[in-house]
Each structure stands twice: as structure tokens, then as C-alpha cells.
Structure 1
Amino acid sequence: MKKMLSIACFAMIFTACKNEATTTKEPVEKVDVSAKFNEMLDNYYEEGLQLNPVQATFAGDNRFNDQFPNPLAEETVNKTKAYFKKYKEQLAQFDDATLSESEKMTKAILNWECDMNLESFNFKQDYFPIDQMWSINLVAGQLASGASAQPFKTVEDYHNWLKRLEGYIDWMTSAEAKMKEGMAAGYVLPKSLIVKVLPQLEALTVEDLDQHLFYTPIKNFPEDFSDEDKKQLTEAYSKMVSEKIIPTYKSLHKFMSTDYMEAGRTSSGIEGIPGGKEFYQYQIKLYTTTTMTADEIHKLGLSEVARISSEMEKIKEQVGFKGDLKSFFDHVRSKKELMPFTEPQQVIDNFNAIHDRMKPQIEKLFDVKPKTPFEVRRTEAFRENSASAEYNPGSLDGTRPGIFYTPIPEVTKYNTYSDESLFLHEAIPGHHYQISLTQESEELPKFRKTLWYSGYGEGWALYSESLGKELGLYTDPYQYFGMLGAEMHRAVRLVVDTGLHSKGWTREQAIQYSLDNEAESEAGITSEIERYMANPGQALSYKIGQLKIRELRAKAEAELGDKFDIRQFHNQVLETGCVPLALLENKINTWIASNK
């Protein structure tokens, strides 16, 4: 699941959660408190949309589709700080004793949101506005393609995007200026990441409009557009792309390929910038929602790598491979039978076939399933070479499907050994179930429907991979090895992310450690290590969250015995949406106690 754009993660809220129907009348005072609390949530949500209208578009709210306030502008930064400070103060006015259990959780979550977003301004993240994987320009490219959240169904839609692009160009210009400031203050990307950004920028300097990504909507007019509208829009888009988009990308590409490249860091970890150690501890807290230290996580990672290695040895013996585990990794990476495809569509078809195989078993583990439609798509060409497989949520109203994107840069080298676990993680019952059920909830306030905590969200997705045998998958030992490989991949992340950012590891050391302990290709591992370099701490969330959910399931099974119902456990985990892990643990402990 990808990190959405912003320099501070803007929470978003729907209308107030519905009060549970009761047969007895609640005290007037209690009703008044709930009404005021919910009114505050409504206001928080509405202001959040105006601060981050692109996020609103992704949620399916199209009222602000022409807006792109520059998150690097001082005015936007000041508005954002004031927003979180105001709602932090308003939350303090509500005494926990006057709130329902659900409202108490909502208050705790919103306090967390305000605190973490305000703390983020202590660090100079605006000096790193562009990288090869996480930054706004990549999301803008998706929107520009016409195949993402930005609608291109009406003439007004087309004009909205033109207006939004004016704000985007302002951001691009600000990004270049911020990077120049960063250079002077010692805040620059590692050279190895700058190299990966350059072709992404260069691809959007092409002067042939028919080949330009930002011109794509003009080639896909709806049939009901008049000839006059088509003519006017074609002229407007030609002018925008030729006179503004292309020159802005050329300027940014020239700057990053010359002055910025020359200033690029040779160090790999975030400790190589001023205040890097403190920033990394903040990132750990942000992404794991825990107070764990880098050292604690590093040791946990080493322990998990050892445990999973012993499980991998069993599969190696099962398939009769003679040689050590590292040789077996090479065997899996290069096994021709695991690279059977000649056309990209065959990769998509394989994922759909996995879905069909597991459908008969899904009822045994889940009695609540999302209504939001689901699709598997190939990752767009302009970002495919640097992308990982990912899930993009559907719209809140269900009109836009949830999409599992898979990169297929070289189809004949596409290895299928981890496809079953990948589908469970990114699609069903991983991110698609977790996010869609949250968005479809009629009980949660809107801001909780669109929150994203990696510790919970990625933890759930990695936990979902362990459900393969229960869902009728992993009958092929290579696919089960793929699941172990995916879990190993997340365990290795605990070691290399903390190694890079707190122990002075180089990019090359991290790549070698990964090659020694997992079966991913060297190209894939290199892309992954560079991903961790660009967004410190994000990679830690998967394993930390998975281990917590597995721990809670084991506790529930042990304490409830015959009363344990796996479907109800999954409902309990999913029904509250993304929450910090400590709040999830409290919820499950309460559920266990009430069912004894």
C-alpha cells in the first residue's frame, strides 16, 4: 500500500458515527456531548478536505478537483499547523467520562493524529520533496493518465484538471527551490536515489504530445463531447503541456542531473543528514505506532530471520534440492518453470486464477466481505521500473474499484513463486478487505475511514499471507516457499532498515545482507533497499504489525478454546479500521474477556 502525498498526513473525517439504537432514552447531557463531539469531527473532516483536496479526490469527493494547494508553501504549512493545534485543543474539552467507548477510541486516535502531524514539522522533510518512489510527482502522473482517481467524464472535469495543474506546477517550482535550500543546509538525497529519479523526470520532457502522459486525456474523450468542446480542450491541453508541463520538467531534470547530483550524499542512511537520528526515531513511531527503539527492532529482525531460515530449510529438503539455502535462493530465482509467461496479460490472468481457487474457502474465515469492486492491473509504464506491487483503494462510495497494481517490466523474467502470498497481501483478504470494509462501515466517523497506520494496515496484510493454507493455497511447495520468502523479506527489512538508518550500513551492505537471506532477485532487492533509503522506517511496519496480530490471535485461541471463532476474531480486528497497535490490543483483550 502506497504512502499518499503530503508533508503532513492529513486525516479525513466523514459525518459523525451513528449512535447505536437503544430502547431507553439517553440522558440529555450525554446526547448533547455526543452531538457536540460529532459536530467537532464533522468540522475537522471538512477543513481537512480543504487542506488536502487531492486526498479528497482519492476518497471520491469531487468538490475540490480543481484545487492543488502547494504543501511546500509557507501559507499552507501555517494553515496546517493551526488546524492540528485547534483540534488538539478542542479534543481536550471532552472528558472521557462523558464519552462512549467508541468515542473514547475516536478521541485517542484523533489525539494521536494531531500529535504526530504537529511533531512532523520539527523535521526538514520539505527539503526532500522528490524521490524515486513516494513523492507527489508520481501521484500526479497517475492522475494525469486519466486511469486513476481524477475523473475525466465531463467537460468540467477536463477544466478542473487544467486548474489543478497550475497548483501542481507551483509545487514543482517550489520543490526545486526547496532542494536548493536543502543543499545549502546539508539535506540532500543519496546519489543512488537521484539516479533513479532522473529517468522518471526525463520521460515527461518528451515533446511529442501524442507520447506525453499528461496529454493522455485528450486521446480519450468521452463520446458525448461536442466537436467544439474537443477543439477547445485540445488547444488548452496542448498549450498547458507544451508551455508549462514540459518546460517545468526540463528545468527540474536539468537541476537534479547537474547541481543536485553533484551535491548528492554518499551516505545511505538518514543519519547522514542533520538531526537524522531524531528523525528516524520519529519515523519508527509514525510507522509502527509503537515506542520501540532501532536497537530493539534490529535484534527482533535478526531473531525472525533465523526462525524463518529454519522453515525454509524444510522446503528445500522437501523438493529434494542438494546444496545450501543461499544456493536454493539462486535456484528459485532462476528456475525456468517459475517464469512461464510471454505476455503481460498472463500475469494478470494468473492472479485472477488464484482468486478463483480461494473463493470456496473464504467463507470459513470471513463472514463479512466488502462490496467495493476489485481489479488487477499492470503498473503504468512511466513508473513501472521503480515500482513495487501495490494496492490503491477504491472510492468511498464504491464507484471506483480497489486496484491491485503489479509491475511487469520484463514479462519473460517474471517469477511466479510468490504470487499466491502477494495476492493475499495486496488484494484479498489483505488490503482490499481491510481498506474497503473500513470505508464501507456505517459505524465509523469518516476520518477513521481514511486513516492509514502502516503498523496496522501492513501488519494485517502480512498476517493475511499466513492464511494461505486455510484458504486452499500453498499446495505447491514453491508457493509456500514464496510465503516464507515474503515473510523473510519483511523480517530482513527490520535488519536492513535499522542497519541503514541507525548503524551506519551502506546501500551495498544492505543489498548483500538481503541477497544472503532471501530469494528476491538482485534487481528487486536493489529497488527495495533504495525504497527504504527514501522513506526511513516505513519498512518496519509490516513485521511489527503482523507479529502483534498473530500474538493476539494465539492469545484468543488459548483463552477462548472452543468458543474461539476465527470469523469473529477477524471481524474484531477489521471493524475499527486502522488504529495504533496499542488500541487494537486493548480492543481484542476486551473482546476476549467478554467471551470467556
Structure 2
Amino acid sequence: MKDVHGRCFSPIWPRFNPLRPDVRRRWCHRRRGRMHMSISSLTGALARSGMLCAAAFLLGGAGHPSLPELVASYEDFSRDHPMEAGRSDPPRSRVGWPDETQDGMAQRRVALERIATALDGLGNDGLSDEDRVDRDYLRQLVGWRIEGIDFDERRFAFVAHEGFYNTPYALARGLNLRSEAEALEWVERMRGIPGYFAEQRANLERGVATGWTHPAIVIDVGAAILRKQIATPVTEDPMLEPLGGYPDVAAEALRLIEREIRPAQRTALAYIDGPYRAKARRDLGIAAVPGGRAYYDFLLRYYTTTDLSAEQIHAMGLAEVERIRGEMDAVIASVGFSGSFADWLRFLRTDPRFYATSREELIEKYAAASKRIDGVLPRYFSVLPRQPFTIVPVPRELEEGYTTARGGGGGDFERGFAGTFVVNTSHLDQRPLYEVPALSLHEAAPGHHTHGALNNENKALPDFRRARDLLAFREGWALYAERLGHEMGVYRDAYEKFGSLSTEMWRACRMVVDTGIHVMGWNYQQARRCFSENTALADINIDTELARYIGAPGGAVAYKVGELKIVELRRRAEAALGARFDIRAFHDLILAQGQLPMTLLEKRVDAWIAAPR
């Protein structure tokens, strides 16, 4: 959960993981000369790499491009505009900061519209089944990108704990600079931060002018992060960390932070916490802004990759809450607890046995759970990634308002980077240990890390299918991995089983709460009660999550929608194949797709069921 995910994020962008070194190096090691590459040098480079047709198409040539040329065109677009393509890779434009001005977005739309029109004219002749899947998914993907631009999403330049103010730190953290020249390139890139911040302010001002502003609860989270960044002594600023081996360059960067970047941060804070907050929308739901219901309906289509309405999703969520609550009650009865559900939650939230006493202990608990899981994975998967993962704490400057845990994109074996599983080690009295196994399954293996690492290793798929920006697929798989933990024997006692049910209930409540807030006019307390009365989530987690759902509408429902579809497809396969059903082959099939909308995934599974054995 990319789930997104520094700003490097809009409601339809994945969350940028601040601890993915593979992303940081690729983004930050672009030479300035390449960022200002001329058309002639660009087309020359593409010709040498076999991509001249794609470049010509994007520049207005190539009358009837083939599917491989269109795929290459989209991948070239992705390298230039990674955020618009749902990626976290380096753009070639300017000094590496995304051009999110209205003119910049209009140019992106033109490029995407050309690809969409060409895809519409591409028939089935000469296309294999796999080609048709690529074409259909790419057309859907490009359509979503265009629709997002048409809604002018950049008016929301930040989303609670994720925003433009985090982008420089996300890029700097863990950056491995191998020469003084690369160190100087990083400093040169830092010089673009004030301009990047100024553009984001312009986007926010356009939001104010058009009635597209956040509620105060979202604004306050962003302001708190900026205050913490500004309060950090300049000598301890994370942007300096990559420059440790280059003292002269670091001194130059320190002066740059003091003289240009800190003032830009203060200016951003003054605006966000002042004039912008004064225009905060009163209603929590996005439907309150002009065109907000249409925008929310679009977000649901994008995030779930289905045509489910808000009302249908709300009803599905209520049904899941009822089902899971019944399973919770059975677990409580199994340990002989005689109090009410509220008494049970109070017991779980206050008994010290369920909480680590140090940050280090919490990390160790996650490590132990992950190794237990490793021991049973081969029984359920015949294809596993080569790439390992590491477990690290969320950086101190990000932990306030940060989610409980987050898995990375699988690392990069070729570049020597392990996958990263980050754990929030703050507020230990609100990080229950009985949730550790479920979160490990979700964020690491066989959840996000396994999926991401296999995508990285699956060179047979085009890059847009190896990305991880479809929440319904990515998060649906990870939530399915939590459910699989029961079959795998990962949950050792009633408390860990309840922890799993609690995290599942959390995702079911998301379906109810997200649609309740953004369409049905729910207030904060209504939304909060769904979590406090049905899950063991601590207060700080509930408030953190609610700020996230309010600030980034629609994404929270994708987890359950995706998981329920995968469960449905598995049951269909089990019923059709009977004794011939192979659980390892089914899991391998799902992960071999890279990522697909749920409608296309369903077609692949149906074809697999029908295939001779």
C-alpha cells in the first residue's frame, strides 16, 4: 500500500517508496546534459537502441505503428514522464524534477492521446493472445492517464503524509554516489528544488481558485511534516547523507540548503498553513468539490479496475465486515474470554505482552516472522524470486503520520539492491505484535516483495506490465497473501489469528469508510467508529489512516476488491478442476501476469482452467 506511494504522487499515482534504492539511483543519476537532450540527440540515441519508430511516432511521424512500436512509445513516454506512467523512475526533463505545470501536463496529454488513437486502430490480425492482452491493457492504462490529466489532479499537490515536500528526501535517502562528478550532479539537482516547490504552490493556488482544496485534517499533516523538516539542523539534513565521502561538495550543498532550500520550505509552509488552510474545504468528502462525484467515480474505476459503483462497494464492505466479525467472535470464544467485544479490544490494547519494549525488538519480531514464512513458501509456490529483502525502520523524520509498515518494489538484483520492508517503530504501545505475521505476509513474502521481485525478474513482459501501479492487483494480491497465511500455518495462536482478522477487517472497513466519506457525507466520528468498534487498530493508526483516506480518495477500497476477485477466481478454478487443481500452479499463474486489470486477469484464469492437462 503504493498504496505511493514525496509528492511523486497524485490520487492516481503510486506511492513513492522513500527507501527503494533502485529507484533512487536510477532517478538521481541522470546527467544534466541528458535532461536537456535535444530532439536530434534523442532520436539518434533511440535509433541506436532500436526505438526510432517509437520516437518518430511520439514526435508526429509513423502513420500506422505496430503494437511493439506503440509499446515502445509508451515506455519512452514513461521514461520522460514517470509519474504520469505510474512509475518512480527518472524523467529526462529539466533538472530531474517533474514538470507539473499546466503546460507540462497538456504536452503529456497530447503524447498519450496519440498512443490511444493508434491503439484504437489496431485490430486483432497478426496479434497473439498475449499481444491482445498487452494491447487491451495498454489502451485502458493510457485512457486512465488521460482522464486523470483532464481532472487537473495536480491541484492536490500533496496528500497528507505524501507530498512534494518529501520528494527531495525520498531521492536522497540511501543514494549511492560513486564519484565526485555524481556528487556534483546531485547538488545541481538540488538547485531545482525551490523552482519545483514554486510550481507546486501554483498548483495549490489553482486549486483554491477552483474550489479544489483539502480539508484541514489533511493540510495539518502536511504542515507538520514541513515543520519537522525545517526544524532539522541543516548539518543533519538527509539531503546531505549521500555526500558523506565528498566534504567539499557537501559544504556546497549545505550552503545551498541554508540559502535556498530552507527558505523555499518556509515559504511552502507559510502558504499551506496560512492562506491555503484558510480555504480548507469543510466537507471531508471529495464529492463536495466541483465535479467531485465524477472524479470519485473515475478514481474507483482506476483503482479497482472494475465498473463497481460507490454504492456497490459500500454494500460489499458491509457484507465483509459482518462476515469477518463473525470469525472474530469465534476466535474470542476459543480462548474463553467472557467480556464484550469492546472489553476484548481493551484487553488487547492494554496488555503489555502484546507490545515490544524497544524499536529493535519490534524489528526483530518482524524478522522472525518473515523467516518462519520463508520456511513454508515452497509448498505454495514453485516460482520464487532470487532477490532477498531487508527490514528497516521508517526514517525518524517520516514516522509521524506514516503507515504501520510498507513493502518495497522487490529491489534490483542486477544493481545489487535488496528489497526493502519498512516498519514504523514509533509509538510502540500502538504497534501490536499479534499483527506482525499478517503484515509480514502482506508487505514482504509472499506479498509485495515477492510480487515486485518476480516482476523485476520477468523480462518477458513489457515494462508497463512489470510496474506495480494497479492497486487492485498489487494490494489485492498482498491481502490474499494474508489470507493464505491461515492455510500456511503462519498464525500460531488465537491472538495472531485475531490479528490477521483485524487487519482484514481494517481493509473491509476501508470499503465502507471511503465510500461513506466521499459519497455518503459521513463525518469523522462516523468513519472512526467503523474502525474503533470492529478492529483492534490503535487510535494513532486509525487517525493516520483516516487522514490518508480523506486526502487520497478511492484507493483504499482497491485492496478488498482485488483480494475478493482473486479468491473468487481460485474458488472457480478449484470447482472446475477438482483433484487436478494445483495451488502452486495457480499462484504462479497470477504472479506471472505482472499486473493486469481484474477483467483481464479473469480471462487469463478462465483460459488456464480450460487448458488441457
TM-score by length of structure 2 reads 0.87
Structure 2 gaps, min length 5 = 15-22, 24-45, 51-63
1:121 pairs, out of 142, 146, 149, with: 149
Q: Which residue of 1 aligns with 2:69?
A: 39
In structure 2, the CA distance between the partners of 1:143 and 1:55, relative to structure 1 (3 Å rule), is farther
1:145-198 Cα deviation digits (max 9, x unpaired): 3x2xx4423223322322333333322111122222222322211011111111
Q: How does 1:333-372 map to 2 (within 5 A)?
A: 333-339=349-355, 341-372=356-387
Q: Which residue of 1 aligns with 2:58?
A: none
| Contact residue 560 and residue 595 of structure 1 kept, 8 A | no
| Contact residue 497 and residue 532 of structure 1 kept, 8 A | yes
One-letter amino acid matched to 2:262: I
CA distance in 2, matches of 1:196, 1:48: 30
| Cα distance, 1:260 vs structure 2 | 1.6
| Contact residue 54 and residue 68 of structure 1 kept, 8 A | no
Q: Which residue of 2 aligns with 1:94?
A: 122
Q: Which residue of 1 aligns with 2:33?
A: none
| Cα distance, 1:6 vs structure 2 | 4.8
SS in 2 for 1:372: coil
CA distance in 1, matches of 2:372, 2:232: 46
SS in 1 for 2:150: coil
**1:208 has 2:236 as partner:** no
CA distance in 2, matches of 1:253, 1:40: 42
Q: Which residue of 1 aligns with 2:17?
A: none
SS in 2 for 1:376: strand
Q: Which residue of 2 aligns with 1:106?
A: 134
Structure 1 gaps, min length 5 = 17-33, 222-228
**1:196 has 2:221 as partner:** yes
Q: Which residue of 2 aligns with 1:445?
A: 462
SS in 1 for 2:390: strand
CA distance in 2, matches of 1:360, 1:594: 31
| Contact residue 53 and residue 68 of structure 1 kept, 8 A | no
Q: Which residue of 2 aligns with 1:242?
A: 258
2:523 pairs, out of 506, 509, 512, with: 506
Q: Which residue of 2 aligns with 1:390?
A: 406
Q: Which residue of 2 aligns with 1:181?
A: 206
CA distance in 2, matches of 1:563, 1:430: 25
One-letter amino acid matched to 1:357: R
**1:414 has 2:431 as partner:** yes
CA distance in 2, matches of 1:143, 1:310: 45
CA distance in 2, matches of 1:346, 1:235: 37
Between 425-434 and 160-169, the greater mean CA deviation after superposition: 160-169
Aligned length: 562
TM-score by length of structure 1 reads 0.89
Q: Identity of paired residues, percent?
A: 27
Q: How does 1:296-315 map to 2 (within 5 A)?
A: 296-315=312-331
Q: How does 1:538-549 map to 2 (within 5 A)?
A: 538-549=555-566
CA distance in 2, matches of 1:468, 1:431: 14
| Cα distance, 1:554 vs structure 2 | 0.8
Q: Which residue of 1 aligns with 2:599?
A: 582
| Cα distance, 1:84 vs structure 2 | 0.7
Q: Which residue of 2 aligns with 1:26?
A: none
Q: Which residue of 1 aligns with 2:180?
A: 155
CA distance in 2, matches of 1:6, 1:511: 25
In structure 2, the CA distance between the partners of 1:43 and 1:250, relative to structure 1 (3 Å rule), is same
Detail structure 1 runs of 4+ shifted over 6 Å in the superposition. 53-57
1:406-447 Cα deviation digits (max 9, x unpaired): 111123543111110000001000011111111210210122
In structure 2, the CA distance between the partners of 1:462 and 1:455, relative to structure 1 (3 Å rule), is same
CA distance in 2, matches of 1:442, 1:126: 33
One-letter amino acid matched to 1:574: L
1:382-411 Cα deviation digits (max 9, x unpaired): 110111111121237452221111111123
| Contact residue 161 and residue 225 of structure 2 kept, 8 A | no
In structure 2, the CA distance between the partners of 1:58 and 1:152, relative to structure 1 (3 Å rule), is farther
One-letter amino acid matched to 1:144: A
| Cα distance, 1:73 vs structure 2 | 1.4
| Cα distance, 1:54 vs structure 2 | 11
1:433-470 Cα deviation digits (max 9, x unpaired): 11111121021012221242101110000000011133
CA distance in 2, matches of 1:266, 1:211: 38
| Contact residue 13 and residue 83 of structure 2 kept, 8 A | no
CA distance in 1, matches of 2:585, 2:460: 17
One-letter amino acid matched to 1:385: E
| Contact residue 473 and residue 598 of structure 2 kept, 8 A | yes
In structure 2, the CA distance between the partners of 1:398 and 1:461, relative to structure 1 (3 Å rule), is farther
CA distance in 1, matches of 2:209, 2:391: 44
CA distance in 2, matches of 1:448, 1:276: 30
**1:259 has 2:275 as partner:** yes
In structure 2, the CA distance between the partners of 1:186 and 1:396, relative to structure 1 (3 Å rule), is farther
CA distance in 2, matches of 1:195, 1:259: 13
One-letter amino acid matched to 1:524: N
RMSD over aligned Cα, in angstroms?
Answer: 2.5
